Amino acid sequence: MDLSNIIWAFVWFTALGVVLGAVLALASKIFAVKVDPRVEAIVDALPAANCGGCGYTGCAALAEAIARGDAAVNACTAGGVETAKAIADIMGLPVVAPNRMRAQVMCSGTHGKAKLKYKYDGPADCNAAMRLAGGDKLCPNGCIGHGTCVAACKFNAIEIKDDIAVVDYNRCTGCGVCVQSCPKKVIKLIPYESDHWVSCNSLDNGKTTRSYCDVGCIACRLCEKACEYDAIHVKDNLAEIDYSKCTSCGKCVLKCPRKIILHSRDPRAKTA
């Protein structure tokens, strides 16, 4: 190899680098796409969990929708008040804090309490279990407990404890992705501050419910009678709390013969 070889390599590669660099620099000017600067600012303000709770495909999609004016500044449920404030600042709109909600699994049918039809030994996924006669539990509406919601949760807020899913509400942001993922529709969103909930989803009458579950709502209406605020009603064989009226006095909790109106301090409502 003589010297000219090295010089040619040097010349050509310098030229190649310069030309390609110039082309790219030129292209970035010619092909520049105007992006709303607010979009980037909103993306930074969002939690970047891409949970999909807002109904958009991810945080970036929501940011674009907010910047266009198609979505409200408080559309991100997962981010809560702080995020809504930050985005309202960027958009120059008044702050409207979202109602903070949290997910709650409305089932108490832990191992041994809810009776089984058969022993399930398939993939650890509720949708797969649903296909085999609607899951292994006799209750048609109870939690199957194979963790489809655990996998869906972007915030690691759900775990399976004793065959049912339990939400850790210190971590729950109320995005509602688990509610959509649950094939049994046993997870519901309730106001974040609410202390009580009826931990059952059975719509069968008392006798039927009693036949397959030790802790199902039997629609006895004792809670309805105990409530002084007209806040709990039995509808479709299932007691339901009206959170606009509930004062968290706890009288229904004491009356419930099945002990399934839970309080947030109840050990059954806590993750391990």
Partner 1 sequence: MTEILLIMFTAVLVENFVFTRFLGICPFLGVSEKPDTALGMGFAVVFVMTLASAATNLIYNLILVPFELKYLKTIAFILVIASLVQLIEMFLRKYVPALYGALGIYLPLITTNCAVLGAALLSVESDYNFIKSVAFGFSAAVGFTLAIVIFAGVRERVAVANPPRSFEGIPIALVTAGLIAMAFSGFSSINLGI
Q: Which is nearer to partner 1, 32 or 235 (CB)?
A: 32
Q: For residues 190 and 243, what is the distance between their CA atoms, to the nearest angstrom?
A: 8
User: What tokens were used for 184?
Assistant: 């049994």
The one segment of 15-23, 170-178, 195-203, 249-257 that binds partner 1 by CB under 8 A: 15-23
**Does 96 help bind partner 1 (rule: CB under 8 A)?**
no
**Does 116 help bind partner 1 (rule: CB under 8 A)?**
no
**Does 17 help bind partner 1 (rule: CB under 8 A)?**
yes
**Does 132 help bind partner 1 (rule: CB under 8 A)?**
no
**Does 3 help bind partner 1 (rule: CB under 8 A)?**
no
User: What is the biggest distance separating any 2 CA atoms in the chain, rounded to whole angstroms?
Assistant: 102
Q: Strand pairing partners for 102? A: 190
User: Judged by CB under 8 A, which of 123, 132, 225, 254 binds partner 1?
Assistant: 123
The one segment of 28-36, 46-54, 178-186, 256-264 that binds partner 1 by CB under 8 A: 28-36
Closest by Cα among 187, 166, 169 to 178: 187
Quickly count: other Cβ atoms within 10 Å of residue 148's Cβ: 23
Distant-in-sequence, close-in-space partners of 190: CB < 8 Å, separation ≥ 6: 101, 102, 104, 197, 243
User: Judged by CB under 8 A, which of 3, 33, 92, 272 binds partner 1?
Assistant: 33
**Does 5 help bind partner 1 (rule: CB under 8 A)?**
yes
3-state class (DSSP) for residue 234: strand
- How many residues at the interface with partner 1, by CB under 8 A? 21
89-98's contacts with Cβ under 8 Å and 24+ in sequence apart are 90/38, 90/41, 90/42, 90/45, 91/38, 91/42, 91/66, 91/67, 96/72, 98/74
Give how far Cα 150 sits from Cα of 147, 155, 179, Å: 5, 9, 11
CB of 204 to partner 1, least distance (A): 30
Helix (H) or strand (E) holding 102: strand 101-105
User: Judged by CB under 8 A, which of 49, 93, 97, 124 binds partner 1?
Assistant: 124
CB of 129 to partner 1, least distance (A): 11
Q: For residues 132 and 137, what is the distance between their CA atoms, to the nearest angstrom?
A: 11
CB of 122 to partner 1, least distance (A): 8
Q: Which is nearer to partner 1, 112 or 123 (CB)?
A: 123
**Does 37 help bind partner 1 (rule: CB under 8 A)?**
no
User: Judged by CB under 8 A, which of 3, 32, 244, 265 binds partner 1?
Assistant: 32
Helix (H) or strand (E) holding 222: helix 222-226
User: Judged by CB under 8 A, which of 20, 96, 133, 254 binds partner 1?
Assistant: 20
**Does 214 help bind partner 1 (rule: CB under 8 A)?**
no
User: Judged by CB under 8 A, which of 47, 50, 117, 125 binds partner 1?
Assistant: 125
**Does 25 help bind partner 1 (rule: CB under 8 A)?**
no
Q: Do residues 23 and 47 make contact, with C-beta atoms less than 8 angstroms apart?
A: no
Residues at the interface with partner 1 (CB under 8 A): 5, 8-9, 12-13, 16-17, 20-21, 23-24, 27-28, 30-33, 123-125, 128
